[in-house]
Structures are given as C-alpha cells and as structure tokens.
Amino acid sequence: MRRFPKARPHPVLSPVVARAPGRVNLIGEHTDYNEGFVLPIAIDRGTEVSAWPSEDDAVLLESVAYGETARFRVDDDPATLQPPWARYVAGVLSRLRRNGLPAVGFRAKIDTDLPLGGGLSSSAALTCASALAAVEVARLGGAAIPPWLEEPGRLAAICRDAERVALGVRCGIMDPYTALHARSGQALLLDCRDLSVRFVPLPADRVSVVVADSGVRHSLAAGGYNERRGECEEALARLNGPGARLRSLRDLDASALAAEGKRLPPTLLRRARHVVTENARTQEAADSLARDDLARFGRLMVESHESLRKDYEVSCPELDALVEIALRARGVFGSRMTGGGFGGSTVSLVEPGSAKRLVETLATEYERRTGRKAEVRVVRPSGAGGVRRDPAAQG
C-alpha cells in the first residue's frame, strides 16, 4: 500500500481564492478544434478554488459538489486518479510542471454553482480556477513564474491540454479562453487559429440571455465528441489528397466545399458542411450584433441549431424541444443548443421585457412535453476569472 503524505497547511499564509466562470456559447459550435470562429460569453456562475499552500508536495482536495475528497502527489499520473474529478486538477498541475512551473502542493476546497456536465463548461471553470490557484500558490512560495504565463492564451492552452492528458477529451480552446479572457457585458469573437479577439457589446437593455439546462447529461469522454473531431480530421485528410493543402476545415469555404465535397462520403460531407457554414454564420452573427441587428442574429442561431441537429448530429430530442418551445415564445430572437451537445443546455436571446416569461414557459412546457425538469435562468455576460487573497478565511 502506498502511503500518502498529509498536506501540511502553511502556518502563516492565508488562502488564495481563484474563481473562473462558466460560459455560454452564443454561436460557433464545434468550430474551435477546426481552427474556426466562436462567439461565447462568460456567465455569472462559476467555480471557486480556495487553496492553502502546503509545505510539501501533497495535494488534498475537497469537492463540495461531489461531497468527496481526493489526495495525490503533484507528480502522480493524472489519468489514473480517483475520483475522476480530481484528474482535472492533477492534469493542470502536470501541464504546468511540464511547462516550467515548479511543483507545489496545496490543500484546496472546490465549490461551484455551475451544473456539472450541463454544457456550460463546468470542466474548464475547474481547470482554469485550479490553474490560477496553483500559479498563485507557487508565486507566494517564492517560485520563479515563467514569463510566458503572461502571454494571452498560454494558460488557456494548458487548461485545454490538461483535459486531454487527464480525461482523454480532445476539446478545443474556446472554454478555457473564455474563462480567462472574457469581458463583462461583451461577447468575444475568437479566431481559434491565431487567438485574435474582437469584443462585441451585448447591451443589457437590448437583449437578455436565457439558458435552459435539459437535465440530459453528456459525457464528452464517452466518445461522441472525440468521434466528431476524428471525422473532421478524416474529412480534411480526404480533401487534402494529392495537391490541395488545407491546414484545417477552417480553410474551406462554401464554394470550395461544393467543388471538392464529392470526394467525401455522405457523413463526412455533412460534418464538413456544418463546420464551413457555422464559421460563416459566426462571423456574420458578430457583425449583426455589432450593428444591433438582433433579428438577423437570432435567425443565424436557428440555422446553427439545425446544422448541429442534421449535419453534425450532436443534438438530442430534449434540446430540440427546448429550442422549439423558445422559438414560439414572445420576444425571442433566436435559440439553439450550446456547448458540445448530446444533452446539456440551450441558449436563447430574448427581449429583456420577455425574459421572465420565457423562463417560465420553458420550464413548464418542457416538463409537460418530456416529463423532465429543466433548470432555466437568465445569465449575465461576465468578466474573466481571477485570483484574490482571503485573509479572513480559516484553513
């Protein structure tokens, strides 16, 4: 039996409190890992990691949401840890170490008001809050912080990679990037190829964002997500054949796909078509928002949902029902599934005066139709995560 050391809390230092928000993607789904465009907002719900530096290399975690604890050493293999939620934190520590941050132990309490696996990026909120906490704990311990950490997107890439090494999910950069770089009151048009960003205001007096959690749970690791990513890679390889040299599906446009698409079997053609049309929709949606054309924005959301349902096949009957209900309600500009799909949540944009009514309609109609309960609420476009010290908290 392996003996675990007990993490000894630092006798003097007060805890580091790191918080990272969840996100709702307004449009641009399954495009990030194809080097395309996404348009998310961070929301006013998130995950908090309160960490006390310890004097050794042990990590002791307590998850309030799971009612469980985990302990491991900073150099343990993240992929084999139990319980599985601890892998997110261990994955972050392992990627930070590999990128030059000295290993430090800590004791931490993790709390969240995000639904777990609900399509609002609870996993990136956890990896990002853990990364912010770990860096701050190292800094307090006198460690030299590698200068690259200040470069935009670097910590987000570490959090994305953590999910791959620790959980086997080959997710894209959208979720951690949003959690670490979002701005209050604004949506973020991110070009996932070069990480250039354009912020577009989402004025609270013009539009409210309503999120409905279907209660259907996905497990991205369970295969569908990685399978879609694999299909995109296969479509790209076939299109590239001899001659063409596309770096990603992002490099295709509608006319190139019309000309070259016959080289693809039907399923791969539909996957590629989703990516091509979604990239165009997302850029147009950002422009529509910038010129306050919410009606056009809403129509693009509906087209996005249809494309995800028919071409990409990542929706499910419960998400489709939520979208249908929203689109019949008063004051709604548009509605679609958000996040990886196979369950999770929908997002609807609605006139502020009709938001409360939409929340009620979605909850009652969804239950009537499916027998399930949806958690529906208005969310606010919020700022990025960050760290503070909490001298009052007790270790």
Query: Which residues carry out catalysis?
Result: 175
Min separation Cβ 365 and ligand GLA, Å: 26
206 neighbors 381 (Cβ within 8 angstroms): no
303 binds ligand GLA (CB under 6 A): no
50 neighbors 109 (Cβ within 8 angstroms): yes
340 binds ligand GLA (CB under 6 A): yes
From residue 295, alpha-carbon distances to 211, 288, 291, 299, 351 in Å are 19, 9, 11, 6, 11
311 binds ligand GLA (CB under 6 A): no
Out of 91, 115, 172, 298, which residue is the one contacting ligand GLA (CB under 6 A)? 172
Residue 394, amino acid: Q
Neighbours of 359 (CB within 10 A): 21
Nearest to residue 95, comparing CAs of 143, 149, 56?
149
Smaller CB separation from ligand GLA, 30 or 45: 30
Smaller CB separation from ligand GLA, 58 or 337: 337
What is the C-alpha separation between 98 and 94, in angstroms, rounded? Answer: 6
158 neighbors 131 (Cβ within 8 angstroms): yes
Smaller CB separation from ligand GLA, 128 or 137: 128
Nearest to residue 305, comparing CAs of 295, 319, 284, 291?
319
Stretch of 24-32, 128-136, 246-254, 365-373 lying at the interface with ligand GLA (CB under 6 A)? 24-32
Smaller CB separation from ligand GLA, 115 or 172: 172
Min separation Cβ 23 and ligand GLA, Å: 8
Q: Is 80 exposed, middle or buried (0-12, 13-18, 19+ CB in 10 A)?
A: exposed
Subset of residues 71 to 130 that bind ligand GLA, contact rule: CB under 6 A: 121
What is the C-alpha separation between 69 and 310, in angstroms, rounded? Answer: 42
Phi, psi of 114 (to 5 degrees): -95, 140
Min separation Cβ 124 and ligand GLA, Å: 7
174 binds ligand GLA (CB under 6 A): yes
Stretch of 13-21, 28-36, 146-154, 374-382 lying at the interface with ligand GLA (CB under 6 A)? 28-36
35 binds ligand GLA (CB under 6 A): no
From residue 162, alpha-carbon distances to 20, 116, 195 in Å are 16, 18, 19
Q: Could you tell me where the DSSP H helices lie in 195-265?
A: 224-240, 254-260
Smaller CB separation from ligand GLA, 28 or 105: 28
Stretch of 27-35, 42-50, 199-207, 248-256 lying at the interface with ligand GLA (CB under 6 A)? 27-35
251 binds ligand GLA (CB under 6 A): no
29 neighbors 341 (Cβ within 8 angstroms): yes
Out of 35, 175, 260, 365, which residue is the one contacting ligand GLA (CB under 6 A)? 175
Min separation Cβ 356 and ligand GLA, Å: 28
- The SS3 assignment for 356 reads helix
Out of 20, 21, 26, 29, which residue is the one contacting ligand GLA (CB under 6 A)? 29
Q: Which residues bind ligand GLA (CB under 6 A)?
A: 29-30, 32-33, 121, 171-172, 174-175, 339-340
